[in-house]
Amino acid sequence: MTFEWGARTYVMGIVNATPDSFSGDGLIRGDEWVAAAVAYGEAQVAAGADLLDVGGESTRPGSRPVPLDEELARVLPVIRALAQRVSVPISVDTYKAEVARRAVAAGATMINDVWGLRMDPDMARVAAETGAAVVLMHNRSQPKDAVQEARLGGRYVGVRYEDLIGDIRRELQASVDLALAAGVRPERILLDPGLGFGKTVEQNLELVRRFGEFRALGYPLLAGPSRKSFIGYTLDLPPDQRVEGTAAVVALCIQQGADIVRVHDVALMSRVARMADAVVRR
């Protein structure tokens, strides 16, 4: 599939090969979870997903890292099966270079790194050697800044920025520089400003309000607001009741130039994207 940036918004469906997703859609349940995950991915494509993002480790505030072998066991069978069953590109949501390398060998064509190549020193090299597209996300998540609330889930508090948008832009550019230095081709790079990752509710709202400022970096933009805690805390709603809030943020990010939206509710958000595109891309 060839992406024509600026022509329309592409929808990335989320396939959580985990038991503990914050959004309640973790697919590891029972003995037939691989088949369930594959069926879920196929349903998302049928509902309008232009690509699928398969992840094996929860990144919710306060989550614990998953050992390498366990993450591989979660994502590889799903990616391998989906690559045989769907025609859309498959992304692997990981910050571990070995997971990325083996996922691309299994059929993934995109690496979605929530740490922007800064967590695993081998990730930039793997991205370059595989030729995969790479999403570089901004992230200042620290366990000490995460707090939990039984109904609304985790959020970040007390995270300090000197200049929110300026700091994020500078740190994204540092990730871009790592990618280019390793040999990743510029046309394979996408940027995600990191809604929800190491940002307070107020900072996330400002990030949405100023999302379009990241277009100046010169790369396609991905927005990932789906069911995030900043929506829940703004509306006082748990993850399974955040679809309208997600739709509002998706539309606002598209209005400011988002090229891809990463979402759980593919059918609904595909309609939001089509409607927003009809307004802003004519």
Active site residues: 228, 262
Cβ proximity of 52 and 41 under 8 Å: yes
H helix intervals, the chain: 33-47, 68-85, 97-106, 123-130, 164-182, 201-209, 229-235, 243-255, 266-280
199: left (phi over 0), alpha (psi -120 to 50) or beta: beta
For residues 275 and 241, give the distance between their C-alpha atoms in angstroms, rounded to a whole number.
22
Strand partners, 10: 260
Cβ proximity of 54 and 41 under 8 Å: yes
Cβ proximity of 143 and 136 under 8 Å: no
Question: Which residues, in sequence order, are CB contacts of 213 under 8 Å at separation 6+?
Answer: 165, 169
For residues 38 and 60, give the distance between their C-alpha atoms in angstroms, rounded to a whole number.
23
231 phi and psi, to 5 degrees?
-70, -45
Question: Which residues, in sequence order, are CB contacts of 271 under 8 Å at separation 6+?
Answer: none
CB burial string 89-125: b at 16+ within 10 A, e below: bbbbbbbbbbbbbbbbebbbbbbbbbbbbbebeebbb
